[in-house]
Amino acid sequence: MKYKYDQGGEKEFKISSTFKQPPKGVIIFDTYNNQWFPLKTVKIDNNAFNLRLVKDDFHRTYGGTNDLLFMPWHYTIEFVGKNYNVSLTRPIMYKSLIPGYENYISVCVIGDSNNDMYTKDMYKVIAHQVLNSIHYVPGWRLKVQDHLQYFTGDNFNQHLLEKELR
């Protein structure tokens, strides 16, 4: 099923877009295989900055324009140069726009997790720069490792990520 993306005019802050209760958990998926908004722009994440390509492809495929501020997921992980980088692509206090997972924090890895190869550094970056910090958001106290769902391919090593969680 192809979803239509409706940012609802997210050109400014709206209190109605924020979490009323703490998030229920965290979901992790990739751009290529995700069941909600699959994008074929980048199959194998290389060392180039691809977020602009992903954002352009997303708006072209699912609607919206580049003047709208946010993607439907909170964090985007990509390999640039020799490092994995985290981009906040949706305010952390905003609900996700992933259908069925609006009350979850969402993390999207650029590429195809069935074919891409990931180093241990990527799992450390996701764990320490994203997931471990979510536990300490005031009022949330979300124990991420108990509320983590994966929608990733065979090459995404869940065990390596979970070893890094605190």
CATH (domain of 64): 3.40.80
- At residue 129, does pLDDT exceed 80? yes
With respect to residue 87, please indicate whether it lies within any of the assigned structural domains. Answer: yes
Give the confidence band of 107 by pLDDT, cuts at 50, 70, 90: very high
With respect to residue 134, please indicate whether it lies within any of the assigned structural domains. Answer: yes
With respect to residue 13, please indicate whether it lies within any of the assigned structural domains. Answer: no
With respect to residue 143, please indicate whether it lies within any of the assigned structural domains. Answer: yes
With respect to residue 115, please indicate whether it lies within any of the assigned structural domains. Answer: yes
82: alpha, beta or left, given left = phi > 0 and alpha = psi -120 to 50? alpha
With respect to residue 8, please indicate whether it lies within any of the assigned structural domains. Answer: no
CB-neighbour burial class of residue 85 (10 A; exposed 0-12, middle 13-18, buried 19+):
middle
- pLDDT reported for residue 142: 80
- At residue 47, does pLDDT exceed 90? no
Q: How many domains does the chain have?
A: 1
Domain that holds residue 37: 28-164
With respect to residue 55, please indicate whether it lies within any of the assigned structural domains. Answer: yes
- pLDDT reported for residue 120: 95
Decide: pTM greater than 0.75: yes
